[in-house]
Amino acid sequence: MRAVVYRRYGGPEVLELTELPTPRTHVDSVLVRVRAAALNPADLALQAGALDSAVETYFPVVPGWDIAGVVERAGPAAPEFAPGDEVIGYIRGDVQRAHGGLAELVAADVRTLVRKPVTMGFAEAAGLPLAGLTAYQAVVRALDVRPDETLLVHGAGGGVGSLAVQIALARGARVIGTAAPADHGYLRSLGAEPVVYGHGAASRVRELAPRGADAVLDTAGGGTLAATADAARAGARTASVAETGVPGVVPVFCRLERADLAALVELAEAGGLSVRIAAAYPLERAADAQRLLASGGSRGKVVVDVT
């Protein structure tokens, strides 16, 4: 099978297209023919060796945690799936090796997979797992955003931010989002109220919500919460996916919870969730896809078409 691998730490330049054996499957794993895989900043960090002291790595590594594809075969202890089923998965493992999503086939633990939303194509669906789980766990678990509350999302135009906007709106909340002016039209199309980020953002939020936000989600980092503290009412609940160790702020890390991933699928099929795609590249141009992601200039998910 064709796969993209890296045999040493580095940037996009260390990726190479190669042939690998078909992955072996255990009794509780599923062989998936990957149709699309989405990239995430964590892919770049791992590939650069940033987590070498924490994550065991065995070269060559096939990168990529987010996949959408079709089941080739399922193990006897994976009766949830059958050949031909369309699935999505968050296939992050505790060890980095030749098992990632930038390959024609991947053997995935059955617990990492759910059915693909019928309302999404493979590219869009591939962009849902990591960003969607992070957004869902921030809005629903950490902040418990409720109907008629006002949620302020910093970085609302990004991958996690835009999904958080949609999840909160589906829960009946009002959403105000800080974003670059180029993203304001997109946020309005989702149903959010955009404001320009940066100096004076807190005052602009207060113009829309004089009482201040009931809850705040930071996906931007860089001291955004401290700079916009006046945008929240006293006692507001605050979470961040970008900063840790801030007093009074709940840090959110993506955790594989199959029930949460299934809830995202149901929300998508109900018409309450879409994934913004910035660009899609063929497998042989995976390095270019990584370069676009690393540039920080993409609006939406960067996806690799594996077909």
pLDDT digits (tens, 9 = 90+) for 154-212: 999 999 999 999 999 999 999 999 999 999 999 999 999 999 999 999 999 999 999 99
Asked whether residue 256 is assigned to any structural domain, the reply reads no
Asked whether residue 64 is assigned to any structural domain, the reply reads yes
Asked whether residue 263 is assigned to any structural domain, the reply reads no
40 lies in the same domain as 88: yes
pLDDT of 55: 87
102 lies in the same domain as 160: no
Q: Which CATH number covers residue 186?
A: 3.40.50.720
186 lies in the same domain as 239: yes
State the residue for tokens 């077909």.
307
- What percent of the chain clears pLDDT 70, i.e. is strictly above it? 100
Q: Which CATH number covers residue 53?
A: 3.90.180.10
| Model pLDDT for residues 92-144, shown as the tens digit of each residue | 988 888 889 999 999 999 999 999 999 999 999 999 999 999 999 999 999 99
Domain that holds residue 153: 131-251
Asked whether residue 269 is assigned to any structural domain, the reply reads no
Asked whether residue 24 is assigned to any structural domain, the reply reads yes
| Model pLDDT for residues 271-297, shown as the tens digit of each residue | 989 999 999 999 999 999 999 999 987
pLDDT of 73: 97
Asked whether residue 46 is assigned to any structural domain, the reply reads yes
Domain count across the chain: 2
- Taking the model in full, what pTM does it have? 0.96
